[in-house]
Structure 1
Amino acid sequence: MSDFDYVPFSGIEYPKEAFAPDGVLWWESSKRGATGAVPRMASWLRWNVEIGGRFTTRQLRETLGISNEHAQRRQRELRDYGWEYLSSKEEPSLGEDCILEKYGWWPGEGPRPRRQQISSKLRRQVFERDGGRCVLCGRAAGEKYDDGSVVTLTAGHIIANSHGGAASLDNLQTECRVCNESARADTGSVADPGAVVEQVKSLKKADRMELLSWIRAKQRSRSPLDRAFDAYRLGGPNVQAAVLDYLEKVESR
């Protein structure tokens, strides 16, 4: 590499720091620690988006060739490495845009920092406490979304690791794949506020008040019926057989 401050590449001038030791841009490098969706996103953002500038998940996905399924999850992982940005989750008016607020780690700074890991034991405790259901939408593992895809669960941070949130039982909650990955931000499909308000207006008053309680609690509450079904579903063959036998006897009376 030369000592010039900027090196021309594909019609765009990048500073020499944007190039890895193998002579290519960091987000195209095969250098150990630079590959993978998170390092490539970090490198591309570092040299293509200024603080206060805008980017989209779609842009990252298409520019870097990252699969649609994992792009939003990997983008969220940037927060665990010091990156800060606003998305439609924090500011709905942004739509599919994100506003970069602070640079975090990228491969040119050295080895990737260690993240707090969620152990399988802790993840199981979170699932058991929450009844094996997403606290946001109420779906359980193995059920299906409207499009027919199968629900899978994960333990999501309430306060992000990068914002000081710990990988602890009181800072984790059960979330399904769609709620955890925030599909709205990935696709840019933002619902019309007026249409959603009209949908809420069509509910019975008791349902509207229950919805208000969910919104304030930032999670969906479960009724005694929900909890009974969760106990049946998670109780194993003996519990399921006993409950089914009882209900069928009640039905036949």
Structure 2
Amino acid sequence: MKQQYKTDGPESPDGTLWWHLKLTPGTKWQPYGGEKRLAAYLYFEAEVGDRFTMRELREGLGTDGVADDAEQLNRRLRALRPDDWIIRSYKDDHSLPPNTYRLEAVGTRVWLGERNPRDKVSKLTEKVVIERDGRRCVVCGVGAGEEYPGEPGSFARMTIGHRVPGARRGGASPDDLQTECAHHNEAARDVLPDPEDFDEVLPAVRALKRAELRDVRNWMAAGRRSRSKLDLAYDRVLKLRPSEKERMLEAIDDIIGDE
């Protein structure tokens, strides 16, 4: 069990401000997470309703006048969502300037080891979502077992992610989940904008031609973009054992030679 620190103040056991820690107290090598530092800084240095920028956050987390240079701090902010922290950005509220955030609710004291439970999505739900999405990543379209373009020897593995990165997955319905490859799971894509809503997408749909609209409608009704017999055959041969793929190549060569 992780150590629980009994303190309500801004200083850690050794007197260092929680948001200036680099290593977890009591250890010589374990890094002190960015989520914990962010939560502590906002808890003690900000009020609900306050606005702040990423630059201001980095300056606050920095020491000796040097701003913190940790990567993907915006992802760390999102990762606080399951612990009841509500932090809006200009992507959530267009009244906010770009790169500006607003603290709307303070959550659990994650810097003290307090975290909400993370329930896992059931295997049945995972299967339903993956089959619904055609065993393909909804972010980039790569299929299970396919080789990533430009990355020889790197094959896609499907997983489940939340439509909104950082949101709690426990108890979520299939409507809140989607199939993602390992390259684009919710942790990796957390730096990207949240999914668009109906009103944002409708203008682009209205601009399509009637024939294109019919295709989109048919794909939506089927739950996936239609794939030809060629696509389906390729999906199947990709799942063969290496030795069977060699046999399939020889068989195809024989068939082509007979034409």
TM-score by length of 2: 0.58
| 1:85 equivalent in alignment to 2:87 | yes
How far residue 36 of structure 1 moved from its aligned partner, in angstroms, is 0.9
Match in the other structure for 1:232: 237
How far residue 122 of structure 1 moved from its aligned partner, in angstroms, is 7.3
Within-5 A mapping of 1:63-74 = 63=61, 64-68=68-72, 71-74=73-76
Give 3-state SS (helix, strand or coil) of 2:9's partner. Answer: helix
Rounded to whole Å, the distance in 2 between the matches of 1:234 and 1:114 is 37
Asked if the contact 2:81/2:167 (under 8 Å) is kept, the reply is yes
Rounded to whole Å, the distance in 2 between the matches of 1:131 and 1:246 is 27
Rounded to whole Å, the distance in 1 between the matches of 2:247 and 2:120 is 39
Q: 1:136 to 1:208 in 2, by over 3 A?
A: farther
Q: Residue by residue, what CA displacement relative to the aligned partner does 1:184-223 show, whole Å, maximum 9, x if unpaired?
A: 459xxxxxx9xx96x995x655345555788x89xx8232
TM-score by length of 1: 0.59
Rounded to whole Å, the distance in 2 between the matches of 1:212 and 1:90 is 28
Within-5 A mapping of 1:110-189 = 111-117=114-120, 125=127, 129=131, 130-140=133-143, 142-144=147-149, 154-158=159-163, 165-166=170-171, 171-176=176-181, 177-178=183-184, 180=186, 181-185=189-193
Match in the other structure for 2:105: 102
Q: 1:124 to 1:164 in 2, by over 3 A?
A: closer
**Structure 2 gaps, min length 5:** 1-7, 62-67, 195-199
How far residue 66 of structure 1 moved from its aligned partner, in angstroms, is 2.1
How far residue 79 of structure 1 moved from its aligned partner, in angstroms, is 0.9
Asked if the contact 1:82/1:103 (under 8 Å) is kept, the reply is yes
Give 3-state SS (helix, strand or coil) of 2:79's partner. Answer: helix
How far residue 245 of structure 1 moved from its aligned partner, in angstroms, is 5.6
Match of 2:33 among 36, 41, 48: 36
Q: Residue by residue, what CA displacement relative to the aligned partner does 1:40-80 show, whole Å, maximum 9, x if unpaired?
A: 12112223343233345566567443224xx4443322111
Give 3-state SS (helix, strand or coil) of 2:14's partner. Answer: coil
**Structure 1 gaps, min length 5:** 1-15, 187-192
Rounded to whole Å, the distance in 2 between the matches of 1:150 and 1:235 is 14
- Taking only aligned residues, the RMSD between alpha carbons, in angstroms, comes to 4.8
If each structure's helix is expressed as a fraction of its own residues, which one has the higher value? 1
> Among the aligned pairs, what percent are the same residue?
33
Give 3-state SS (helix, strand or coil) of 2:36's partner. Answer: helix
Rounded to whole Å, the distance in 2 between the matches of 1:211 and 1:99 is 37
Asked if the contact 1:53/1:100 (under 8 Å) is kept, the reply is yes
